[in-house]
């Protein structure tokens, strides 16, 4: 995975990388911090941000990215949705413009236990652009581990849509642990359905998936 990133970056063909948060990419970001590939010409766009959290809040995704990557590796520019935007529609339109101006060459993805990608929860349209979304109980419960209590987890987020994610030239999805096994099975072997957002990736021509044994444990093919 890390070698793939290094060789793709060194190819000089990548101008914009799409980045993800969560515990899954932590080792990858550690590798990038240590390997220090030359990213000075590369722009980053993140998948999502919690509504209501300022960029410097220690649970915001902006803070996460600075903490785990941006403070240590120099990039050209960073974009994330603004969790404090006053006008949601304008913020979604702004982020769609960012994506139009910075088409994603290489998109990193994790996956939720319910098959969500970014914060596109079950039922999300496969054509969706940036949206303000309501998080499911399952996602709130899963993300509560980062907060002092579940009541503190923001219930809404801005997320790139599935359509925006599918516009990426190349997608690299990581999943580790048995709590991801059912979502991975559905993503790879199940029918395409909005009920499992990650099944949208079946239609994408360039997806690479890295799994540990536990996440791959329900695959039969
Ligand atoms: C969050 C993020 C997703 C991430 C998912 C899995 O809800 N919005 O981008 O892929 O959770 O998180 P983790 O990697 O911590 O399991």
pLDDT in tens, 81-124: 999 999 999 999 999 999 999 999 999 999 999 999 999 999 99
Residue nearest to atom 9 of ligand 1 (CA): 118
Is the confidence at residue 17, as pLDDT, over 90? yes
**Residue 176 near ligand 1, beta carbon < 6 Å:** no
Res 6: pLDDT: 83
Catalytic, 3? Answer: no
Res 3: pLDDT: 82
Under the banding of pLDDT at 50, 70 and 90, the label for residue 21 is very high
Res 62: pLDDT: 98
**Residue 21 near ligand 1, beta carbon < 6 Å:** yes
Catalytic, 121? Answer: yes
The mean pLDDT value for 189-210 works out to: 97
Q: What is the mean pLDDT of the chain?
A: 96
d(Cα 63, Cα 57) in Å, to the nearest integer? 6
Share of the chain above pLDDT 90, in %: 92
Residue 170, strand partner residues? 106
Residues 144-157: tens digit of each pLDDT? 998 999 999 999 99
Catalytic, 48? Answer: yes
State pTM to two decimals: 0.95
For residues 172 and 201, the answer to whether their CB atoms sit within 8 Å is no
Written out in words, the top-level CATH class of the domain with range 2-211 is: alpha beta
Closest CA to 24 of 55, 64, 54, 52: 64
- Domains of the chain, by residue range, sit at 2-211
The mean pLDDT value for 20-24 works out to: 96
Q: Which of 46, 102, 114, 120 is catalytic?
A: 114
Catalytic, 58? Answer: no
Is the confidence at residue 218, as pLDDT, over 90? yes
Res 4: pLDDT: 85
Q: Which of 46, 116, 120, 143 is catalytic?
A: 116
Closest CA to 38 of 17, 18, 59: 17
The number of angstroms, rounded, from the C-alpha of 86 to the middle of its chain's C-alpha atoms is 23
Closest CA to 182 of 215, 221, 143: 215
The dihedrals phi and psi of 40, each to the nearest 5 degrees, come to: -65, -25
* Packing angle, helices 2-10 and 26-35, rounded to 10: 50
């Amino acid at each position: 995975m890390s070698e793939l990133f290094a060789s793709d970056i060194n190819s000089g063909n990548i101008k914009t990388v799409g980045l993800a948060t969560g515990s899954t990419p932590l080792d990858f970001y550690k590798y990038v911090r240590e390997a220090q590939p030359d990213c000075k010409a590369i722009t980053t766009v993140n998948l999502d941000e919690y509504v209501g959290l300022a960029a410097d809040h220690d649970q915001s995704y902006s803070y996460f990215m600075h903490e785990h990557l941006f403070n240590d590796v120099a990039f050209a520019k960073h974009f994330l949705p603004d969790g404090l935007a006053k006008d949601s529609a304008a913020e979604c339109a702004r982020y769609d413009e960012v994506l139009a101006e910075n088409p994603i060459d290489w998109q990193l993805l994790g996956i939720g236990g319910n098959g969500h990608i970014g914060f596109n929860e079950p039922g999300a349209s496969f054509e969706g652009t940036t949206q303000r979304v309501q998080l499911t109980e399952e996602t709130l419960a899963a993300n509560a581990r980062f907060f002092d209590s579940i009541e503190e987890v923001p219930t809404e987020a801005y997320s790139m849509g599935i359509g925006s994610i599918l516009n990426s030239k190349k997608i690299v999805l990581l999943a580790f642990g048995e709590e991801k096994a059912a979502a991975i099975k559905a993503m790879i072997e199940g029918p395409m359905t909005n009920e499992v957002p990650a099944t949208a990736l079946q239609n994408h021509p360039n997806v690479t998936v890295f799994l540990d044994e536990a996440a791959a444990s329900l695959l039969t093919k």
